């Protein structure tokens, strides 16, 4: 089970069906962002379909790091230092998403060790390609971030062009029973094309 930080947070919980559970969340986002924030499928696939282009992954960092306290608090056992992977997702050279993944040591063991040898592959594509090991029920929060938030500051260190305010989501996935935290910060370039709408 994942435990939740009781402290006041800018994050709002969205249920597994993409519906807002907490007041003041998804419906407050501009309509252009709501489909991106609430989607429960592969973000990689959604972006590639929207732009009809292959996603480029630029790895900004993939190393052992101290995790943020707000990240640590989302896991059953608090983390201090583990693998953190930060990437820039681009379409035709235009940055569209900054993604930060927190991968506990226990989540990288056994069968997951091979799956999580990512190189320049997007983690989302790997997770959704291994659906036999990906628990369908995920835990997702959304927020509007700015310079006051630790996650914004951490990502801005790797990507200095980060806008001063932007929408983001974070999701706990379970790969073969082991948790991974993926945070995605949506950049203005993502709106250069409209995402596909569900039928």
Higher pLDDT, 185 or 133: 185
pLDDT score recorded for residue 177 = 79
Lowest mean pLDDT among 28-32, 84-88, 91-95, 142-146: 28-32
Distance of CA 197 to the CA centre of its chain: 20
What is the predicted pLDDT for the residue at 19? 47
Q: Who's near 111: CB < 8 A, 6+ residues apart? A: 133, 176
Give the percent of the chain with pLDDT over 70: 72
Tell me whether residue 151 is exposed, middle or buried, using C-beta atoms within 10 angstroms of its C-beta: 0 to 12, 13 to 18, 19 or more: buried
Picking from 20-24, 65-69, 126-130, which range would have the lowest pLDDT averaged per residue? Answer: 20-24
Q: Is the pLDDT of residue 28 over 80?
A: no
182 in Cβ contact with 151 (< 8 Å): no
Q: Which DSSP category does 118 fall into?
A: -
Report the pLDDT value the prediction gives residue 21, as an integer from 0 to 100. 43
For residues 61 and 79, give the distance between their C-alpha atoms in angstroms, rounded to a whole number: 19
Quick count: other Cβ atoms within 10 Å of Cβ 106?
15
What pLDDT score does 197 carry?
47
Which of 101, 85, 91 shows the shortest CA–CA distance to 46?
A: 91
The pLDDT-based confidence of 121 (bands split at 50, 70, 90) is confident
Report how far Cα 96 is from the mean position of its chain's Cα atoms.
13
What's the pLDDT tens digit per position in 54-84?
999 999 998 989 999 999 989 888 888 888 9
pLDDT score of 97 more than 60: yes
Task: Give the Cβ contact number of residue 25 at 10 Å.
Answer: 20
- From the list 139, 187, 116, the residue with the least C-alpha distance to 1 is 139
Q: What is the pLDDT of residue 108?
A: 66
Mean pLDDT of the chain: 80
CATH level 3 topology of 12-188: Chorismate lyase (3.40.1410)
Q: Output the CA torsion sign for 84, 98, 4, 133.
A: negative
Q: Which of 22-26, 112-116, 133-137, 186-190 is most confident?
A: 186-190
Residue 115, token pair as written in the block: 């799956």
Residue 169 and residue 142 in contact, taking contact as beta carbons nearer than 8 Å: yes
Q: Where are the domains of the chain?
A: 12-188
Residue 191: per-residue pLDDT: 92
pLDDT band at 22 (very low <50, low <70, confident <90, very high): very low
Within 8 A by CB and 6+ apart from 162, the residues are 98, 152, 155, 156, 185, 187
pLDDT for res 27: 62
The stretch 96-120 carries a mean pLDDT of 75
- Does 23 have pLDDT greater than 80? no
Neighbours of 76 (CB within 10 A): 9
């Amino acid at each position: 089970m994942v435990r939740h930080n009781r402290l006041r947070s800018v994050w709002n919980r969205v249920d597994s069906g993409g519906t807002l559970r907490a007041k003041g969340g998804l419906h407050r986002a501009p309509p252009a962002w709501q489909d991106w924030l609430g989607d429960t499928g592969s973000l990689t696939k959604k972006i590639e379909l929207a732009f009809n282009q292959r996603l480029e992954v630029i790895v900004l960092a993939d190393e052992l790091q101290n995790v943020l306290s707000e990240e640590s608090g989302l896991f059953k056992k608090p983390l201090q230092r583990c693998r953190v992977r930060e990437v820039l997702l681009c379409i035709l050279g235009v940055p569209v998403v900054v993604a930060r993944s927190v991968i506990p040591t226990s989540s990288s063991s056994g069968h997951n060790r091979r799956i999580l040898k990512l190189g320049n592959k997007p983690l989302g594509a790997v997770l959704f390609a291994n659906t036999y090991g990906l628990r369908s029920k995920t835990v997702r929060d959304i927020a509007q971030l700015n310079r006051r938030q630790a996650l914004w500051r951490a990502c801005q260190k790797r990507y200095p062009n980060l806008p001063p305010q932007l929408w983001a989501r974070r999701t706990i996935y379970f790969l073969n029973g082991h948790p991974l935290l993926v945070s995605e910060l949506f950049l203005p370039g993502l709106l250069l094309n409209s995402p596909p709408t569900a039928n």
